[in-house]
Structure 1
Amino acid sequence: MFPEHGLLETTEQIRRFELLRLAFFVLKLRKLEQRLADGQTSMENSQEQKDEQGFRRNLLHHVIFQQVLTLIQLDARGQAMQIIEACQN
Structure 2
Amino acid sequence: MAATSGNTAILANLDLDTLTNATTFDAVAYFAEDSDLRSIRQALSAREGAIIPLLTSAEDGARLLVERHVCIDTTAAGGNATLMAQAG
TM-score between both structures, scaled by the size of structure 1: 0.29
> Which fold has the larger relative contact order, with Cα–Cα distance below 8 Å and residues 6 or more apart in sequence?
1
TM-score between both structures, scaled by the size of structure 2: 0.30
Which structure features the higher share of strand residues? 2
